[in-house]
Amino acid sequence: MLTQDDVASLLNIHRTQVSMLRQVGILKAIKTDRNYMFSQETIKDFQHDYAGYDVSNAENARQSYLAVNANHE
């Protein structure tokens, strides 16, 4: 399991970006006490499913989330 800081480091983004991706629903997490934990599989799925999508802000992330989920149906 990876912490939010671990994920931020792996993806070379700020931890607030990880929070935003979690809040939008793109990154699934497990809440443990006051922290969130992410599986390595979740990160691999994100990298595969969202390749080519713009998730740089909340609005773009929401649109990308909708597009990816529409493709999976």
Distance CA 22, CA 40 (A): 14
Amino acid, res. 31? K
Question: pLDDT value at position 73?
Answer: 67
Q: Is the pTM of this model over 0.85?
A: yes
Question: pLDDT value at position 71?
Answer: 78
DSSP H or E run through 32? strand 30-32
Question: pLDDT value at position 72?
Answer: 73
Task: Give the residue ranges of DSSP H helices in the chain.
Answer: 4-11, 15-24, 40-49, 58-72
Average pLDDT per consecutive 10 residues, the chain (73 residues; last block may be shorter): 97 97 97 95 97 97 96 73
Encode burial over 19-28: b for 16+ CB neighbours within 10 A, e otherwise. bbbbebebbe
